[in-house]
A = this chain, B = another copy of it.
Amino acid sequence: MLGPQVWSSVRQGLSRGLSRNVRGWASGEGKKVDIAGIYPPVTTPFTATAEVDYGKLEENLHKLGTLPFRGFVVQGSNGEFPFLTSSERLEVVSRVRQTMPKDRLLLAGSGCESTQATVEMTVSMAQVGADAAMVVTPCYYRGRMSSAALIHHYTKVADLSPIPVVLYSVPANTGLDLPVDAVVTLSQHPNILGMKDSGGDVTRIGLIVHKTRKQDFQVLAGSAGFLMASYALGAVGGVCALANVLGAQVCQLERLCLTGQWEDAQKLQHRLIEPNTAVTRRFGIPGLKKTMDWFGYYGGPCRAPLQELSPAEEEALRMDFTSNGWL
């Protein structure tokens, strides 16, 4: 396994046949920040009394920091952000900023239901050190979240944000797919970098890449289950819950895709599908945290109303890892 430093140069040195141009990290005039790469969406550790455990957060980050990730997503869906107070959200991001290696990116989830609250949270996230804001679609009034409403929302946020914005569509949680036409319109905004798409429809991902090809718009797959397919279609990376436990393997899959070793990539991708489903759709964050405990990280409890896995669920979770050779 390559170390992070070497990895970084590999990543930038590669001809990157299937992805778009790689740009330097420091964005110059007109250049957008390059977000290509793999990110674990870090979980928020809690104590037995459901307080945020910042010590365990730092321990997890120290371990994750040894892997060749492009950066970290903080306050994504796996961060239990809807269960945190505003000040907890900011404190967690602040701690991650202080703890994580300096050469990585910090993408902070700053989405709220109202446009105004999202703007304020985004500004605050910038102040505590986020490199970019990942903004989930508002969803409670999904029946009225037309393309026009979403374009208005994201434009306002991007206009007022001191840091670049990444769109975030996660229909399993929001019941809402950010429409392709809205994405295409928003891709033209100078302060919108790209998108994290967790829906799993790679035809859609391909279409988004295709229709934004004249913009500098970068698509990240929102899950390791369709990471290889997303690379094939033109995505430049992934935000993968599974990278919290099989981080080296997800980065290895990235490398195989970027270097055109598609046969080996396929074999590895195949072995990651069931574990990935297990820590996402099937058993959710309780499953992810339980698995983190197995893999030497601190998982711990979720905040209520999320419940611990039942013994039968835990057994099924374990099987999804053992049957693919990971445990």
Contact B114 A83 (CB under 8 A): yes
The answer, among B142, B145, B149, B203, for a CB contact under 8 Å with A225, is B203
**Within the assembled complex, what's the spacing in Å between the Cα atoms of A172 and B117?**
23
Chain B residues, Cβ within 8 Å of A174: 140
For the residues of A in contact with B, the DSSP-based class is: helix
Q: Please tell me if A210 contacts chain B, counting CB pairs below 8 Å.
A: yes
Q: For the complex, is A125 an interface residue (Cβ under 8 Å from B)?
A: no
Assuming A18-B262, A117-B83, A304-B115, is B77 touching A140 (CB within 8 A)? yes
Question: Taking CB as reference atom, which chain B residue is nearest A207?
Answer: B273
Q: How many copies does the complex hold?
A: 4
A175 to chain B, nearest CB (A): 4
Q: What are the interface flags for A114-152 relative to B under an 8 Å C-beta threshold, 1 for contact and 0 otherwise?
A: 111100000000000000000000101111111011101
A274 touches B232 (CB 8 A): no
Binds B, one of A34-42, A60-68, A239-247, A264-272: A264-272
Q: Which residues of B contact A201 (CB under 8 A)?
A: 200-201
Among B145, B273, B304, point to the contact of A114 (Cβ < 8 A).
B304
Chain A residues close to B by CB (< 8 Å): 17-18, 50, 77, 82-83, 85, 113-117, 138, 140-146, 148-150, 152-153, 156, 172-175, 200-203, 206-207, 209-210, 213, 225-226, 228-229, 232-234, 260, 262-263, 265-266, 269-271, 273-274, 277, 281, 283-286, 303-307
* Nearest 8 Cβ contacts at the A-B interface: A210-B270, A115-B304, A82-B113, A153-B305, A83-B114, A229-B229, A203-B225, A175-B175
